[in-house]
Structure 1
Amino acid sequence: MWRSTGRWGRCSSSSGRRACAGTCRCPSPHWNRRRCGVAESPDGSTPMRGVPRGPLMSPGFWLHHAALEWRNTLERNLRPLGLTPTQFNLLASAGWLSRQGELPTQQQVADMSGSDRMMASKVIRGLEERGLLIRRPDPADARVLRVELDPAGRELVSKAVQIAVDTDAQLFGADGDMLREHLKPIAAHRLPQ
């Protein structure tokens, strides 16, 4: 278990400075774990879990920044088509869901893309005004809107999907498949069944 004497120690591997780069294995059990980045048991034998290690040691920190980089790169790559990542996700989700059976509802498209209902409604309305998709009331319930890509939307989605595939290859390289398999169990519950 972590012991703290309440004193700030000095990192022996950082030439006596008060902080290290988080890569050392400080022999001093009273070294403040937040400054060092690695916490060890008092005997120094094993790193401890559950102890704050700093943001650079957090997989969530790197996942967040990798997602930001992916989105920025995708946005840059989609710009020549006049699409944002949000517009692309909604169009691609509508296309994917429509190939699975009946035309999807606007809510199903929002859920598949991970978008908020209000924001999805606004963006889909804009895509409809651009002539990329059509919204029709459901015959069984007029409050429900069904979404269908029109020919221009299908053509644009086809080009945009290739850009997204190329963006994934550019950023993730050969590790893309492995990364996908690691992320699927974490996020699968968010997808509609």
Structure 2
Amino acid sequence: MVRGKTEMKRIENTISRQVTFSKRKNGLLKKAYELSVLCDVEVALLIFSPRGKLYEFASSSIQSTIERYKEHLREDVSSTTQELDTKQWKNEAEMTKRLELLETSKQQLLGEILESCSLEELHDLEGKIMQSLQSIRGRKHLLLKEQVAQLKEKEKSLLKENALLREKFELLPQLPSAARKEVSLHTSQDQDNEVETELCIGFPGRGSHRM
């Protein structure tokens, strides 16, 4: 009968989990022993149970195998560090070389240190300069077009504002005559509202003397 494939997850049942641990632990210790004998290799196996109990197997000595592992680990770390340092040095050297080439190219574009350039190199340099000039002129032309468009918009705004100011200025002469009409109207109303007053001396009802 073919056994079903065991699902790799924690066994929830405590008894089943303990039985499985005992069986597989013994099988793992047996396999470690067989591997050390059949292949003449150094094997060390450490197992801690869920309760913290230690089970171990070593073809020679657990301690010696652990020390050997530590030494091997230090060698790997040292080797890795050395490889990283070497790679970093190479990167720095390449970066320095690139910076030197860029600096030389910059000076040549400025017309300096051209003595070491061949005729072909000078021709290539001239082509690069012409291409740069075309790019610069194109960018300059674009900026000029943008400035012209902005100035035209500003001109339209100023013309519109000027027209509004002219309309307001044309209305100014009409204001004094209107103001005069309003003043004369208020003056006539004040005159109509005036009351004649006289000062009389004497008792009321008798002949009085007007002043």
TM-score normalized with structure 1 length: 0.22
Larger Rg: 2
Say which structure, 1 or 2, has more relative contact order (CA 8 Å, 6+ apart). Answer: 1
Q: Which has the higher helix share?
A: 2
Task: Name the TM-score, length of structure 2 as normaliser.
Answer: 0.21
